[in-house]
Structure 1
Amino acid sequence: MGEIIAVTSGKGGVGKSSVCIHLGMMLASKGYKICLVDADLGLKNLDLMMGLDNRVIFDMQDVVEERCLLERALLQDKREKNLYLLPVCKGVNFSGIHQDDFVRVMRVLQNQFDYLFIDTPAGVESGFRFASSVAGRAIIVSNLDVSALQDADRVIGLLLKEGVAMLELVLNKISPRAIDKGMCVKIEDATSWLAIPLLGYIVEDARMQSCNNRGLPIAVARDSQLYHCFDVLARRFLKEKVALPKLNERRFLSRIFAT
């Protein structure tokens, strides 16, 4: 039976959906069958970022209301045959799905996929509550801004209250220069503050937004910095003993991330 993971954050704009897509794509490239469930209602954009927006015809709400079979609502990625997307709803109206419906569909998907990643809304909207009710593991995405870390800390408390015991942190949009100049919280201070294991970090890259807008995830480019970051992230997610690069050693970074 597959594992269900909630991918969440306390603050919008930290790159939660990008992390969800790229981690899923990296795992799919390693042979795992992956389903991304877009439960970020109102701000749903996984279909756009994956270049699948024109293919969305059915969603989970159609499945629940018996307008189509679950297989018709699943969209296969254009690049990775093991990666699929399930939109929860095409619009912002979530009234047609109750928590029991959501859980039932997720249990069916567990028998079809190795990993299910639920992209949740930032905060405590319905999508967040539904995901936390069924996930046994959660990835909290944040950057090194104080406000983002404060909100992430609040979300960690909510997840623990819901009984999601396995929590892991991904720090996104990491800039070694900003850390060196004291313009943001240090990684070790952020992990100490949130007190959950650091799964990985993703370096800041100006190309990310452009690629997301074009539906072309940058993780497919093997010579990119982001590919290396997501490869390490995926391997650590799979419990491989892989060390993180030491950000305070610039020569080490330039050697690892030479393009």
Structure 2
Amino acid sequence: MTGSSTRTILICSGKGGVGKTTLTANLGIALASQGVRTAVLDADFGLRNLDLLLGLENRIVYTAQEVLAGNCRLEQAMVKHKLQPNLALLPAGNPRMLEWLKPEDMQKIVGLIQPHFDVVLIDAPAGIEDGFKNAAAAADEAIVVTTPEVSAVRDADRVIGLLNTRGVEPIQLVLNRVRPKMMQSQEMLGVTDVTDILALPLLGLVFEDEQVIVSTNRGEPLTLNGSSSPAAIAYRNVAKRLQGEEVPLPDPTKQRRGLRAKMRQLMQTKLF
């Protein structure tokens, strides 16, 4: 836990592959675009990917490992985004760091970052192992990312339990890869099902969006290129809600009804 006025937010998930790192990259860019000095810290030392998603992999010279060892200054290791100067990345070090890294090491890294930024986003490893516990030790708030699948929600519940025991608050939820049609046919857990099980306030709903895959492969977060795709809008709205703006959450049950109503209206226009 920290005593700084800088908001230090852990972005975590129980299950891998639910879009946690993608959210971190897009949320970081979205906050920076809103004028928030934002640092993103890749704490997934075993599976480092945040640099790829931000398109910064070729600009890394030093990592958190060299900072901790005293081999470079923090300023030398932080990689500023060329297209969004309010955002900087501190890359994860060698996977061997997992063998010796302790919670106090993460607290030291975050303590060095905080004076220079308004928000620090920590991309934690998925699961509840030591890597997650180390990352959680340096955070005040948390965003839990899950998809509306039974296994992902169960794993998220375990993560929330650990965060509660560590006094991390607030803990908020982002529900990712939402498919309204599957929710309506009850082939996927509904939003209320997930929020009832996890008992967390809902910070954002991100609809399934092919553009996420395209942008990830290009190393260009959707929130960087002005995209108006459903996921890009959702990421920006998460950033706004984090800043205290009241942005209504979309209702997945009305998504397809809205399309049907629009189609009916178009047909009536053509007929008359």
TM-score, normalised with respect to structure 2: 0.89
Deviation string 1:61-101 (CA, Å, 9 cap, x unpaired) is: 10111111110100011321101110131445434543222
- Alignment counterpart, residue 238 of structure 1, candidates 212, 236, 243: 243
Percent identity, aligned pairs only, is 39
CA RMSD of aligned residues (A): 1.7
Aligned to 2:234: 229
Deviation string 1:152-206 (CA, Å, 9 cap, x unpaired) is: 0010001111121310000011111111121110001100110010001111111
Runs of at least 5 residues in structure 2 that lack an aligned partner in the other structure: 261-272
Shift of 1:137: 0.4
How far apart, in 2, do the equivalents of 1:164 and 1:135 lie? 7
Shift of 1:253: 6.0
How far apart, in 1, do the equivalents of 2:94 and 2:78 lie? 13
Aligned to 2:60: 56
Q: Partner letter of residue 110 of structure 2?
A: M
Q: Is 1:65 aligned with 2:89?
A: no
Runs of at least 5 residues in structure 1 that lack an aligned partner in the other structure: none
Shift of 1:252: 7.5
Q: Is the 8 A contact 1:11 1:152 kept in 2?
A: yes
- Alignment counterpart, residue 134 of structure 2, candidates 98, 113, 130: 130
Aligned to 1:102: 106
Shift of 1:125: 2.9
Higher deviation after alignment, 132-141 or 218-227: 218-227
Aligned to 2:125: 121
How far apart, in 2, do the equivalents of 1:5 and 1:66 lie? 25
Q: Is the 8 A contact 1:37 1:118 kept in 2?
A: yes
Higher deviation after alignment, 61-70 or 224-233: 224-233
Q: 1:14 to 1:182 in 2, by over 3 A?
A: same
Higher deviation after alignment, 95-104 or 170-179: 95-104
Q: Is the 8 A contact 1:245 1:252 kept in 2?
A: no
Q: Is the 8 A contact 1:2 1:111 kept in 2?
A: yes
How far apart, in 1, do the equivalents of 2:7 and 2:22 lie? 20
How far apart, in 2, do the equivalents of 1:162 and 1:118 lie? 16
More helix by share: 2
How far apart, in 2, do the equivalents of 1:97 and 1:128 lie? 11
Deviation string 1:215-255 (CA, Å, 9 cap, x unpaired) is: 01122333222221112111111121111112111267659
Alignment of 1:123-162 (within 5 A): 123-162=127-166
SS at match of 1:248: helix
Q: 1:228 to 1:168 in 2, by over 3 A?
A: same
SS at match of 2:240: helix
How far apart, in 1, do the equivalents of 2:55 and 2:179 lie? 28
How far apart, in 2, do the equivalents of 1:245 and 1:253 lie? 12
Q: How many residues matched?
A: 255
Q: Is the 8 A contact 1:246 1:252 kept in 2?
A: no
- Alignment counterpart, residue 220 of structure 2, candidates 212, 216, 222: 216
